[in-house]
Structure 1
Amino acid sequence: MTEKKVFILLTNTGSVLTRLIKLYTKKPYNHASIAFGPDLSEVYSFGRKTARNPFIGGFVKEDVTAGLFKQADCAIYSFTVTDIQFQRMNHYLQKFKTQKHLYRYNFIGLFGVMFNKPITRTKAFFCSQFVASVLEECNIHHFEKPLSLITPPDLQAVDTFRLVYEGKLKNYHNQYKTNKICIQWPCIPV
């Protein structure tokens, strides 16, 4: 049975919404995405659908080389999955891709996090809630608290995730292109 690497991308884009969330959380990263491949060309999350309006959100495929991500700080974690888990993840994501018009951003759920009261809404997620749902639905990691309370720091705390890179996201891409990023232990450049 072969194994594949999947990545968790945590970012701080410096947007107004991110700065407001950071005032509350006091944490360096307040956005979470899941990526399939070390080049980060296939990255999914729940976030803004248009660059200019943070209040129109839902399921998105993110371009981490453009827009708010151009100056983002990040932490990238990797983890290994089996072929079966990888297939489950693709199958689970397929329903989001084909029905993305039905999904909304769970703004109300953010208030639930603030008051430690889970607020689950049908077809609505915030970023870390979505990433946690992928991990749990595909039998990769079980969280001890409701998914609607999972935050980016909770994802950082998963002991099976290995930190691959921390710094400017644009620098990661430059280092990746020159084969200076190590995605497995012992360190073997990509």
Structure 2
Amino acid sequence: MEKVYLLFTDTGTLFTRIIKLYTKRVYNHASIAFDSDFMEVYSFGRKYPNNPFIGGFVKEDLRNELFLRSRGAIYSFWATQEEIVRMKTIINAIEANHEKYKYNLTGLITYVFNKPLHRKYAYFCSQFVAHVLKEGANVDLPKPISLISPYDLQCLSHLQLEYEGPLYYLLRDQLDEFCH
């Protein structure tokens, strides 16, 4: 058994603040990671940190300015080696074909109206994480993946809170090592 990590963040960007107005939740972005130093963090979001209009599959760098000034909550759960292989296989297939995948802005709109919408090559962040968890680790979800929010993921019963606070403090020891 190995730990898998779910990261929930509040980046404070305009897009995040707009989503927060609707959700009334602290964290409105979800990612999945397979290592405790968070070098392998995957999600759907901005392809370029300073451009909110171009999105899709991303391997996130928590050491960039956007995340270093963000708050976050890290949760973990135990997964078998087989589940981890299946989850990574799903992510690797998406990464290998990343040019086909888009950010599911339409899905966010249908989410507001509680209408499930499956688009073959489009995800928003929590929809992507939910897909990986459901298909890779057989996680039971409370609703269709296209209606899963970051908060829904946070509420999964088998998650253990590992850290909550500024991401800079979570990563500062690694950053100190990197800079010296």
TM over 0.5, shorter chain: yes
TM-aligned CA deviation for residue 176 of structure 1:
6.8
**Identity score, percent:** 49
Deviation string, structure 1 residues 95-147 (Cα, Å, up to 9, x no partner): 01110011000001111111111122120000000000000001341213110
- The yes-or-no answer on 1:113 pairing with 2:111 is yes
Question: What is residue 21 of structure 2 aligned with on the other side?
Answer: 23
Aligned positions of 1:20-169 closer than 5 A: 20-169=18-167
Code of the residue aligned with 1:110 in structure 2: it is L
**Structure 1 position 173, deviation (Å):** 1.1
Distance 1:68 1:177, change over 3 A: closer
Moved over 4 A (4+): 175-178
Deviations 1:23-74 (A, max 9, x none): 1111000000001111111000000111222121000000011031121000
Contact 2:87 2:137 in 1 (8 A): no
**Where is the helix percentage greater, Structure 1 or Structure 2?**
2
The corresponding residue for 1:9 is 7
Select between 87-96 and 29-38 the one with higher mean Cα deviation.
87-96
Tell me the SS of whatever aligns to 1:117: coil
Within 2, Cα distance between the matches of 1:17 and 1:139?
30
Aligned residue for 1:167, secondary structure, equals strand
Alpha carbons 2:84, 2:137 under 8 Å: kept: no
Judge conservation of contact 2:79–2:137 (CA < 8 Å) in 1: no
Partner Cα separation in structure 1 for residue 101 and residue 51 of structure 2? 17
Kindly report the root-mean-square deviation, in angstroms, between the aligned alpha carbons of the 2 structures.
1.4
- Would you say how many aligned residue pairs link Structure 1 and Structure 2? 176
Aligned equivalents of 2:170, 2:100: Cα separation in 1: 33
Deviation at 1:177, TM superposition (A): 7.7
* Whole-angstrom distance in 2 between the partners of 1:146 and 1:14: 27
Post-superposition shift, 1:161?
0.5
Structure with bigger RCO (C-alpha 8 Å, 6+ apart): 2
> What are the ranges of 5 or more consecutive residues in structure 2 without an aligned counterpart?
none
Q: Which amino acid aligns with 1:81?
A: A
